[in-house]
Amino acid sequence: MEPMISVRHLHKSFGAHKVLADINVDIHTREVVVVIGPSGSGKSTFLRCLNFLEQPQEGDILIEGTSLMAKSTRINDIRTELGMVFQQFNLFPHKKVIENIMLAPVQVRKWPAEQARRKALELLDKVGLSEKAEAYPASLSGGQAQRVAIARALAMEPKIMLFDEPTSALDPEMVGEVLAVMKDLAREGMTMVVVTHEMGFAREVGDRVLFMEQGAVVEEGHPEQLFSHPSHERTRAFLSKVL
């Protein structure tokens, strides 16, 4: 079966600084891939390349067989299939929660407002925030804001969800509520790529874990195997610090 995402010989530099060096990864439908690694290992850059927020210099990324690097590809169309959740939530502060969620379906998918509103309310219910529909983002806690951000991404009915350290900016007591929403999504069969420091989540929900260091995938495997029996010295060293 054709992979949902296929990353081939991906290279990315910021100036002279090489951030990603020859990344090759296939991600399949319904798979939850968790990317772990020390700060500066390139894992966020890797994730941001997947929806072209960062442009790689070499290599290619195929989303359902469509090359992101091809001139003929309309990147905006591809992005509608990839939901993205950011560390800092990036909610639109001038719009109410419900408007945050409805905006892209109405403007990009051209849904009628009524349909978008129904979808938004349904998603708010799913993330447990129905009562916040008319609130502004500034009045939300971090955990609530991130759940709204997840709902906003889901409103586009994406095939893939990308999470860029979704719990790193949260107070510890709010991490659980966000991870719970992500676990639900994984259970429903969403294809997910998650950059995180939550090793418990990686172990419990991940189908596969990638360990990145210095811009390369050092090791990948099933979470049980990678956490319990890492085959590389660098993986062992990293895990001994975080577990």
Partner 1 sequence: MDFRFDIIAHYLPVLLKGTAFTIGVSIVSIIFGSILGLGIGFGKMAPKAYFRWPFHCYINFFRGTPLYVQILIVHFGVIPAFYGSTNVLMTSFVALSLNSAAYSAEIFRAGIQSIDPGQREAAVSLGMTGFQAMRFIILPQAVKRMVPAFGNEFIVLVKDSSLLALIAAPEIMYWSNTMKGQYLRIWEPYLTAALIYFILTYSLSKLLNYIERKV
Q: What is the binding site for partner 1 (CB under 8 A)?
A: 51, 53, 76-77, 79-80, 82-84, 86, 88, 90-94, 103-104, 107-109, 149, 152-153, 156
Residue with smaller CB distance to partner 1, 12 or 79:
79
State the minimum distance, in angstroms, from the CB of residue 141 to partner 1. Answer: 18
Q: Kindly state the DSSP code that residue 125 receives in the 8-state scheme.
A: H
Residue with smaller CB distance to partner 1, 94 or 229:
94
Residue with smaller CB distance to partner 1, 115 or 231:
115
State the minimum distance, in angstroms, from the CB of residue 161 to partner 1. Answer: 11
Q: Give the Cβ contact number of residue 13 at 10 Å.
A: 15
Residue with smaller CB distance to partner 1, 32 or 148:
148
C-alpha torsion sign, points 222, 147, 4, 48: negative
Residue 187 burial (CB < 10 Å; 0-12/13-18/19+)? exposed
Q: Helix, strand or coil for residue 112?
A: coil
Distance CA 189, CA 178 (A): 17
State the minimum distance, in angstroms, from the CB of residue 92 to partner 1. Answer: 6
Nearest to 207 by CA among 182, 186, 235: 186
State the minimum distance, in angstroms, from the CB of residue 205 to partner 1. Answer: 22
